[in-house]
């Protein structure tokens, strides 16, 4: 009896120890899991903050969507539009992260626009000034367009003054430098180098309230960016503006005509298509894209006026209709004659 009882106590003791050990292990795991969860929740809480204290993107103005719509209404430029929208969203999110106390990237807003004349570079730059004003990153949102002659002076020291003056005029908005590559064309002794140095300094000094956009032909702009080591590092966005297709150019022509309260006759539209297609195909170096189309439309309007002014009775339809006879078959520096017909 005693032996049996002792054996039972022995086994019970072993069983109890095993249970106790198992309980302690489980309890330890539970505590560790609880501690890990608490740590995890603490990190999440730190990152997310108090949901009752949401920080809104209060810098956005009411006409932000209007400026985006203006960008969307431009014909073509699909990739340019997407890049502008992507970067605008990125800038807004970095600002919100900063306000929440999260890590955020340094925002650089200066840009390079590369492409042939008449591809929409200036138009997009004007809209960008409005967009960045509407999201609170530019105080004024105005647009200043300059070229080499506006920046380069006639004697040593004059160029830096000229360039700084234009930079200060553009503060709170966009400084658009057309054919920017021309600043680097004169060699080491040219005053253009002095202007480039002043621009690089201005890019850094006023980066929070100024966007400088350097624009020009693609190859020339690539070379230009190599002339000063500080230039490329201060550029946030490189946008390539492709040439318009003939169909896009016709749509641009229609918009230009409508804005001036004219219409193209059926024969006029067909003839204009032929003229644009021929000019584009045979004058690849001198073809000015939308600029060429604008010149064609302006010349057509003048021709229409000469055609109808001698009529005894001029109707409203006469006043607004541009016919195939009115559309020039050639432009100065783009001489391509096309037989003028209704076909």
- pLDDT of 112: 96
Model confidence pLDDT, tens digit, residues 139-150: 999 999 999 999
Which of 83-87, 198-202, 280-284 shows the lowest mean pLDDT across its residues?
A: 280-284
Q: Which has more pLDDT, 230 or 7?
A: 230
> Other C-beta atoms within 10 Å of 146: how many?
18
Chain center to CA of 234? 16
Which of 16-20, 35-39, 269-273, 336-340 shows the lowest mean pLDDT across its residues?
A: 336-340
pLDDT band at 232 (very low <50, low <70, confident <90, very high): confident
- pLDDT of 106: 79
pTM: 0.78
| Average pLDDT taken over every residue of the chain | 84
Model confidence pLDDT, tens digit, residues 173-183: 999 999 999 99
Rounded average pLDDT over 159-167: 94
Whether the CB-CB separation of 150 and 253 falls below 8 Å is answered with: no
- Nearest one of 133, 225, 134 to 171, comparing CA atoms: 133
Strands 174-177 and 143-146, bridge-based pairing: parallel
Rounded average pLDDT over 114-125: 96
Percent of the chain with pLDDT over 90: 61
The region, left, alpha or beta by phi > 0 then psi within -120 to 50, assigned to residue 261 is: left
- pLDDT of 342: 42
């Amino acid at each position: 009896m005693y032996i049996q009882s002792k054996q039972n106590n022995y086994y019970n003791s072993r069983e109890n120890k095993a249970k106790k050990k198992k309980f302690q292990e489980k309890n330890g795991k539970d505590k560790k899991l609880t501690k890990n969860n608490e740590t995890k929740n603490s990190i999440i809480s730190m990152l997310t903050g108090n949901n009752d204290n949401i920080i809104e993107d209060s810098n956005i103005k009411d006409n932000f969507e209007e400026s985006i719509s203006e960008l969307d209404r431009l014909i073509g430029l699909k990739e340019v539009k997407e890049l502008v929208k992507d970067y605008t969203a990125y800038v807004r999110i970095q600002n919100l992260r900063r306000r929440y106390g999260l890590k955020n990237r340094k925002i650089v807003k200066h840009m390079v626009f590369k492409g042939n004349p008449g591809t929409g570079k200036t138009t997009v730059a004007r809209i960008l000034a409005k967009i960045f004003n509407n999201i609170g990153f530019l105080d004024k949102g105005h647009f200043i367009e300059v070229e080499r002659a506006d920046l380069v002076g006639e004697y040593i020291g004059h160029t830096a003054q000229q360039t700084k003056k234009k930079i200060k005029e553009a503060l709170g908005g966009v400084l658009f430098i057309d054919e920017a590559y021309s600043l680097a064309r004169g060699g080491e002794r040219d005053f253009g180098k002095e202007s480039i140095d002043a621009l690089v300094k201005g890019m850094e000094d006023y980066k929070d309230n100024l966007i400088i956009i350097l624009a020009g032909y693609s190859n020339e702009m690539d070379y230009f960016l190599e002339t000063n080591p500080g230039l490329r590092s201060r550029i946030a966005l490189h946008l390539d503006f492709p040439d318009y297709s003939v169909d896009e150019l016709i749509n641009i022509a229609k918009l230009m005509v409508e804005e001036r309260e004219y219409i193209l006759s059926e024969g006029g539209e067909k003839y204009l298509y032929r003229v644009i297609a021929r000019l584009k195909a045979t004058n690849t170096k001198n073809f000015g894209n939308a600029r060429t189309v604008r010149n064609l439309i302006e010349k057509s309007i003048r021709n229409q006026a000469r055609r109808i002014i001698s009529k005894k009775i001029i109707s409203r339809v006469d006043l607004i209709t541009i016919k195939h006879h009115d559309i020039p078959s050639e432009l100065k520096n783009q001489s391509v004659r096309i037989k003028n017909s209704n076909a």
